[in-house]
Amino acid sequence: MKFYSPLGTRDYVLEEARLKKQLEREIDARLASWNYQEIETPTIEYYENYQVGFESLNEKALYKFIDEQGNLLSLRADMTIPIARVVAKKFRNAEMPLRFRYCASVFKVHEELTGKKNEISDCGVELLGLPKETGDLEVIICALDVLSTLENMTFILELGDSRFFNQICEKVEITDEEKNHLAKLVGEKQVTDLALYLEELALPEDYQVIINQLVWWNGKFDVLEKARKKIVDADLLRILDELAILYEQIDYLGYGDQVHIDLGKIGRLNYYTGIIFEAFVEGVGLRILSGGRYDQLLKKFGFDLPAVGFSIKVDQLLKKMESPAQPEPITIEYPQKLMLEALKKRQILSGQSPIELKINNQLTDIRVRGL
Amino acid sequence: MLMIALTKGRLEKASLPLFEKNGYGVEKLKNKGRELVFQDTKKDIAYFLAKAPDCITYVEHGVADVGIVGKDTLLEENCNCYELLDLGIGKCQFIVAGLSDCDLWNMTGHIKIGTKYPRVARQYFNQRGMDVEIIKIEGSVEVGPLLGLCDGIVDIMETGTTLKENGLVVFDTVSEISARLIVNKASFILKKEEILTLLDDIKSKEA
């Protein structure tokens, strides 16, 4: 018999558990202050929902099992798909926009022994029914607001637009397979292999230059200027303009220093339809927040609705959290024969501080400490 | 402060001159005592040595900001980092080889391929539309076909001497390999200046 936690999972106990819950509460309170409403969905979803939602689904990454009727189920891999399902079913006639927030466990199977967790806690929001002109800024500022309220965190939010890469691919007319490969090379900033592959594809010279530069067009606001000098295409220029306006608005609201631009950000192909962003914190190697606009997703569930959202990776952030001082409990010591009276005492004292019951048969009467 | 993970062995020896010639103080790495982490004597950088797949792991988790790893290992392992520079050292090739009397491409029976790089081998044969069985071998892969464990091998080849000595011939080249500089995604954003300076320093020598 083996009595361990399953591969890729972990237990949270005592201080770790306390920290996690506290962080989730802090984030949740901040999201609530933006008037995002709570939503809870089942831990299991029909596998089909993920298949429909994510065109390029990595099926190995989903936990799969079968219900008693033979339907394929999976543990939810994110909260966006379940929320899209709920909204498409139950909120067709609702007043728009809709704002939802959640804190939930999501499950993804990772390669064994890589130090990555298969069950993680995601806290996030979805803003549905607002197009990019009105929705993007709110969601980005909300993300920045949450991150800013967390103590001892130096963070950068990196902002890109998935349309930039997609438009380029459309202009050069490559196949889906070629686009997938190109997306991998750009996304992973594989400088050398990217240059070689572009030569192999024999794309027009000016587009080769642009795609090679995607790897380097990241950093402070001025990369938009750099990019503009190399680009003549009107559609691409329009995306740069929109990013510039968005950045200026973010800057006006006081977050300019925390936001970088990355024009080479790809994200999940055939899913994001506009802005995409990720945030990183000093001292944590993996991203702690990710999000973007996905205007085509709800349509797949039968309700054409623009949407934008983000989620915060609580487990990653925990690495940076300092343990909070815990209030000293009040103790009620009592000899066993006075158990009933001791519990009565507890009822009377019950309030803000935790109360610990302690048996001490040396005593003849109840003793209360730490009041 | 930048933390750099160097691949132990051949790549370590080849990469030290890149740092040395460009004004980095890597003396401690050349005369190793019992330390495990080596401070650069001129710059705000520390180095440590690790096996190639471990370099990737350290960089992915952000324990190291930068790593120097062979493309062979990057192709075999799933690497969730940026790959920003070809260092032009540690050059070799992924090849398919076997005994000269084996007509691997026209075999009709069951084909077995021995390799230290199952993922690379699998991908290569999938692309050729060939259905083969991959057998993982940890070392001295050349022995496989000689003793009849497998029909062919996928391995890295530097000069080809070992293959020749064992009577094996190269059937095809899978890809060219060299050492790459990889960077943690968070570090690339939060320590951009330092990393771009490092890239510039090392690159300038090549050109």
Measured between CB atoms, does B61 come within 8 Å of chain A? yes
Measured between CB atoms, does B12 come within 8 Å of chain A? no
Which residues in chain A are contacts of B57 at CB distance < 8 A?
114-115
pLDDT digits (tens, 9 = 90+) for B106-161: 998 999 999 999 999 999 999 999 999 999 999 899 999 999 999 999 999 999 99
Same domain, A286 and A199: yes
* Cβ separation A287–B186 shorter than 8 A: yes
Measured between CB atoms, does B1 come within 8 Å of chain A? no
Predicted pLDDT at B55 = 97
Opening angle at CA B27, ends B21 and B31, nearest 5: 135
CATH number of the domain encompassing residue B153: 3.40.190.10
Torsion from C-alpha of A163, A165, A168, A173, nearest 10 degrees = -100
* Cβ separation A156–B190 shorter than 8 A: yes
Nearest to A78 by CA among A119, A102, A51, A107: A107
Q: What share of chain A is helix, strand, coil (3-state, %, to 5)?
A: 40, 20, 35
Which residues in chain B are contacts of A157 at CB distance < 8 A?
none
Reduced to 3 states (helix: H, G, I; strand: E, B; else coil), residue A51 is helix
Rounded CA-CA distance A256/A306 in Å is 26
Which phi and psi (to 5°) does residue B33 adopt?
Answer: -95, -130
Predicted pLDDT at B6 = 97
Same domain, B69 and B86: yes
Rounded CA-CA distance A84/A300 in Å is 9
Opening angle at CA A298, ends A296 and A300, nearest 5: 80
Residue A233 lies in a domain: yes
Which residues in chain B are contacts of A286 at CB distance < 8 A?
60-62, 185-186
DSSP for residue A61: G
Q: What share of chain B is helix, strand, coil (3-state, %, to 5)?
A: 35, 30, 35
> Tokens for A211?
């795609």
Predicted pLDDT at A59 = 87
**Per-residue tens of pLDDT for chain A, all 371 residues:** 678 998 899 999 999 999 999 999 999 999 999 999 999 999 999 999 999 999 878 888 999 999 999 999 999 999 999 999 999 999 999 999 999 999 999 999 988 777 889 999 999 999 999 999 999 999 999 999 999 998 888 999 999 999 999 999 999 999 999 999 999 999 999 999 999 999 999 999 999 999 999 999 999 999 999 999 999 999 999 999 999 999 999 999 999 999 999 999 998 888 999 999 999 998 898 999 999 999 999 999 999 999 999 999 999 999 888 877 778 899 999 999 999 999 999 999 998 889 999 999 999 999 999 88
Domain span including residue B136: 92-176
Q: How far is B172 from chain A (nearest CA, A)?
A: 19
Same domain, B96 and B130: yes
Same domain, B73 and B137: no
Same domain, B21 and B50: yes
User: What ipTM score was computed for the predicted complex, to two decimals?
Assistant: 0.88
Predicted pLDDT at A98 = 98
Measured between CB atoms, does B187 come within 8 Å of chain A? yes
Same domain, A72 and A198: yes
Q: Least CA distance to B191: which residue of chain A? A: A282
Residue with tokens 């080596």: B38
Same domain, A233 and A306: yes
* Cβ separation A193–B84 shorter than 8 A: no
How much is the pTM? 0.92
CATH number of the domain encompassing residue A95: 3.30.930.10
pLDDT digits (tens, 9 = 90+) for A203-250: 999 999 999 999 999 999 999 999 999 999 999 999 999 999 999 999
Number of domains in chain A: 2
Among partner residues A154, A192, A219, which is closest to B86 by beta-carbon distance? A192
* Cβ separation B189–A192 shorter than 8 A: no
Non-local CB neighbours of A312 within 8 Å, separated by 6+ positions: A27, A122, A123, A124, A143, A146, A147, A288, A289
Distance in angstroms between the alpha carbons of the first and the last residue of chain A? 47
Number of domains in chain B: 2
Same domain, B34 and B130: no
Q: Which residues of A touch B (CB under 8 A)?
A: 111, 114-115, 154, 156, 158, 188-193, 215, 218-219, 260, 280-287
> Tokens for B34?
């019992």
Domain span including residue A143: 14-318
